[in-house]
A = this chain, B = another copy of it.
Amino acid sequence: MAGNLKRPSPMYKQLADQLAEAIASGELEPGVPLPSETKLMQEYGVSRPTVRSAVAELRTMGLVDSEQGRGSFVRNQDAAPSVTLARTLRRSGKRFEAESAFSAIESPTITRTHITGAAAALLERDEEAAFAVERLLSDPVTGARYAHRTVIPLDVAEAVPQLAERPDAELTEIYATLTEAGHALTWQESVTARAPLPDERAALGVSDGAPVLVSRRVTYSGDDRPLLLEELRASAAHTQLTFRITPEKAPTRRRAGSV
């Protein structure tokens, strides 16, 4: 980790890259502090703002955590994927069971809303009324927190009285209820990630630079009519989601270059 920075490519980025490489190579181990800002200024012959920009880069890359009065510490990334949430369902007859178990931090809140945004596209309903059930959950082992939200369109709730009465029933119960109501259920889950919103940082305990995983599961009647939506949000630093891939038995259509 010597002290030579050429131009161009901003000096703060070069410094960030060098530090990132030192972290990746293990030269700077998790838990140990970076050299202080003053040291880095002297070592590399750059000014304070340049050093601070470099360290800020490392923070947004999720490589270090800075603590006022102490230092900037290399984050332990091996301990990163700690919690694995299996997004699998088990079924026996008309009963369902979810693979991953949570404990609720607060009791669920039920509200009446309208379906907008991503939910509208997935439920194929725009601006229609719906029940929304919000839960704040935590993993019983690690204490990691999750936000869970269920959206039940009003037309679905009206067709199945038990849903309207207890929209906050457990999801496995709801699946059973819908099955008894004659629906042949199928599910599709879609996963993406984004930077946390300000309120999510606190609620989900998202560490600096870590994204939020957003997973949305749609329950269909048959293969195509959306009945309800679940949305799960979690800090990606603590969580990975797993899916069992089951090949569909379907006629082969030719396609080129797929991987």
Query: Which A residues fall within an 8 A CB radius of B?
Result: 16-17, 20, 60-62, 78, 80-81, 84, 87-92, 95-98, 100-104, 117-118, 135, 137, 148, 170-172, 186-198, 209-211, 213, 215, 217, 230, 236-237, 239-253, 255-259
A247 touches B117 (CB 8 A): no
B97 touches A253 (CB 8 A): yes
Which of B61, B118, B243, B255 is close to A197, meaning CB atoms less than 8 Å apart?
Answer: B61
B244 touches A97 (CB 8 A): no
Which of B78, B104, B192, B250 is close to A92, meaning CB atoms less than 8 Å apart?
Answer: B250
The smallest C-beta distance from A127 to any residue of chain B, in angstroms, reads: 14
List of B residues within 8 angstroms of A189 by Cβ: 242-243, 245
A101 touches B258 (CB 8 A): yes
8 residue pairs of the A-B complex, CB under 8 angstroms, read A61-B195, A92-B249, A104-B257, A170-B259, A193-B211, A194-B210, A195-B210, A243-B245
Known A88-B245, A98-B258: A236·B251 in contact at CB below 8 Å: no
Of residues A84, A104, A251, A259, which shows the largest number of chain B Cβ atoms within 10 Å of its Cβ? Answer: A259
A244 touches B242 (CB 8 A): no
A172 touches B97 (CB 8 A): no
List of B residues within 8 angstroms of A197 by Cβ: 20, 61
List of B residues within 8 angstroms of A88 by Cβ: 245, 247-248
B245 touches A187 (CB 8 A): yes
Closest-by-CB residue of B relative to A61 is B195
The smallest C-beta distance from A29 to any residue of chain B, in angstroms, reads: 15
List of B residues within 8 angstroms of A245 by Cβ: 87-89, 186-189, 217, 243
Closest-by-CB residue of B relative to A81 is B192
A92 touches B236 (CB 8 A): no
List of B residues within 8 angstroms of A98 by Cβ: 255, 258-259
Which of B193, B211, B246, B249 is close to A244, meaning CB atoms less than 8 Å apart?
Answer: B246
A191 touches B118 (CB 8 A): no
